[in-house]
Structure 1
Amino acid sequence: MAAKGVGRTSGTIHDFPDFDANQDAETLHKAMKGFGTDEDAILDILATRSNSQRQQIIRAYKTLVGKDLTEDLKSELSGKFESLIVALLLSAAQYDAKELHDALKGAGTSEDVLIEILASRNNAQIQQIVEAYKEDFDSNLEEDITSDTSSYFERVLVSLVQGNRDEGGADPSQAEDDAKALYEAGENAWGTDEERFIAILCSKSITHLLAVFDEYQKINDIDIEDSIGSECSGSLQTALLAIVKCVKSTPAYFAEKLYNAIKGAGTDDNTLIRVMVSRSEVDMVEIKAIYKSKYDEPLDSAIVGDTGGNYKDTLVKLCAGND
C-alpha cells in the first residue's frame, strides 16, 4: 500500500526494449488469421509487454486491422488462457474495476475480492478504480458496495473506497495513543468497539500504522493480528486482517494469497490470474522472494505443478519477467 519512490518498481514486467506496437499488432493478427490460432505467438507478445505497451498494441491493432483486438482474441481463445490474456489487455484500473463489479454483481458477493483489492491499493489507485468503475459500468462503486454488503464490513469497504487514507509520516505520541485506543477497544474491553478499529485502520497512514502496531505489541505483548482474530469475526475480521497484513508487507500478503490459491483444494484460478496480472509490474520480485522463503518452493515451480498448457506458460512468463 505504501507508495513507491521514483524509478523502477520491483515488478517482473517492465517496458519491453525495442518495442514496436505496429509490428506486435501485425504479429497478433497473423497469429489469429487463417486456420488455427498460434497461441504461442500471442502469449510471447502479451506476457512480455508492459501494460502501457499493451494499450498501444490495442490502438495499433484497431488502426491496422480495423477490428478490436480483445474481441478477436475472445473469439479465438477459450477457457483460463482466454481469461488470462483478456485480463492482460485491461489497464490496471479497468481490471480492478471489472473484478470488483464481478464480485458485486455476480452470483453472490465475492467478499474476498472486495477485501483484496480495496485493502491493497493506495489512494490514487482507488480513485482511478472508482472512475473506471463509473465509466465502464455506468454505476457508482460505493453505492454498489452498500447495496450488496452490510454492517461493519460494509463500513470498512466504504471507508477504503474513499481513497482518502492519510499519507503523512508517523507521530510517535499519537501512535502510542492509537495503540492504547485499540487496546481499550478490544482486549481490554467487554465486547469490541469495532468502530474504533475501523477508524484507525482505515484512515491512518501506513507509516503511522506500523508505529501503532509496534506500540500495541509493547502495551499488550500480543500482535495486532492475533487481537483482531480473537476480537472480530467473519468478513470484518478478514477485512481488518488484510489491511494489517498489507500495512506490514503487501508482497507478503500476496505471497500468501498465491499459496492459498495454488495449494488449496483445487486451484483458485480467478485469484491466481488476478494476483499475477495485477502485481507483475508492481512487486512480483518481492512476492517471489517471500514465497520461496516462506513456503520453501519457487513460485514458478508451484505454478508449473498446478497448471498446464499455454495458461501455465503465460503465468510462468509473468513470474519470470521480461528482463
Structure 2
Amino acid sequence: MKSIESVTAYSLMNKNEVVATFTLEIRSGLVRITNICTLRVPFWIKDVGDFIAHRAAPRGREHIKELFVRSGCDNIKGFLDMTHALALTDTFWVKQADSDLEWEKVSLFCNPFNEVVAHTAFDGGMYGDNLSTPSPEYSTDGTFAKCWIREENQIKLLKRGSSGARNTGLEPYSEFYASQVADAFSAEHVIYDIRNHNDRLCSVCNCFTNEQYGFVPFSMVSSKSLPADIIDEYSKRVGSKQLADMFIFDALILNEDRHKGNFGFIFDTETYEIVSAAPLFDHNVSLLCYAEKEDFNEKYIKSRMPKLYDSFVEIAKAVLYPDARRRLINMKNFEFENNNKLALPEWRVEAFEHLIRNQIKLILE
C-alpha cells in the first residue's frame, strides 16, 4: 500500500463562520476530498467537494494557466492555500482548519487587489513576482482575458476581446452597445462602457455583488435546462418577469452565449435566502460580433443560434407579456447614442440598429 503524501484539514467559511469541514488527501499524485462535514451551507452547494473543485477560474481562459503556474496554484492544494478560494460572487472562502485567519483580512470586497496578478491576467507576460496575496482573477469565470480594479470606490471588471483573426476583438463593443439596448428596453442589467486599458480595448462594468448580497448562477440552483423548466424555477423563486425580459433582450441582440452560468439569482449572504433575480450581464458574444461587412444579411442572421433553446424569436414570443410588448413598440425606431470616442464605424452601428428594429418586428408579429 502506498502511503499518503499529504493530508490537510480545511474549513469552508462564510465570512467568519465555519459552514463545512473537509480533508484534502494527496495519494500517489491523486487528490481526494474526504471527511466532508456540512454544518450550514446553502441548498445549492449540494456537494462540498465539487464546490471546492470547481472554485478556480477555467484554465482555458487566456493568460490564466500561466498565472496559476507562476503562483503555485496549478494544483488544488496550492490553489486553496494561496487564494483561499475567494471570489467576488459571494462570501465563501477556505482556510486550513488550524488557521486563525479572519474574513476581514482576506475579503476581496474590502482588501487591496494584487496589481501584478491583475496585469498578468489581463495582458499576459511578466509584470513582477509578487503573486502571494489573494486576488479575484483566480476565481473569475469566463474564457476572455479580464481583471478587476478599484476605481472611485467601485470594484470594476475589465474584459478584453478575443484575438488571432481578422474578425475578432469586437466583443467589448457588443457589451457596450447591448447595454444601450437593455436601457431602452428597461431591463434590469449591468451597465457597460468601453475604454482602453494598457492600450487594449475592453469593456468595463461595476461589480454587482457585495458582502451582503452574492450571486448564484442558475446552474447551481437547478439541473433543469428546458426553457419551460427554467421559467418554472424562476416563477417559484422570484417571479418570471426578469427571466422573460432576458429571453426577449437576448432575441433583440442575438446573444449567442447565454448559458446557465451567466444568469441566476441574488442571495443574502447571511441567511442564504434568494432575494431577487440577478441583473443581466455578460453580453459580449452578441450583436453579430464576429460578422464582417458582407455578413450583415438575412442568411447570416438566421444562422445565429442561442445555446439554451432553438430560436431567439420563438422563445421571445412565448414569454412576451403586455408591458414588454409596450416597451418593444416604443423601441420601433431605436437608435444608439454613438458619442463614445471609441465608437464603431457608422455603417456597423446602423446595421445594429436595423437588426434590432427587425428583431422587434419579428417578435411582435
TM superposition score normalised by structure 1: 0.25
Q: Which has the higher strand share?
A: 2
Q: Which has the higher contact order (CA 8 A, sep 6+)?
A: 1
TM superposition score normalised by structure 2: 0.23
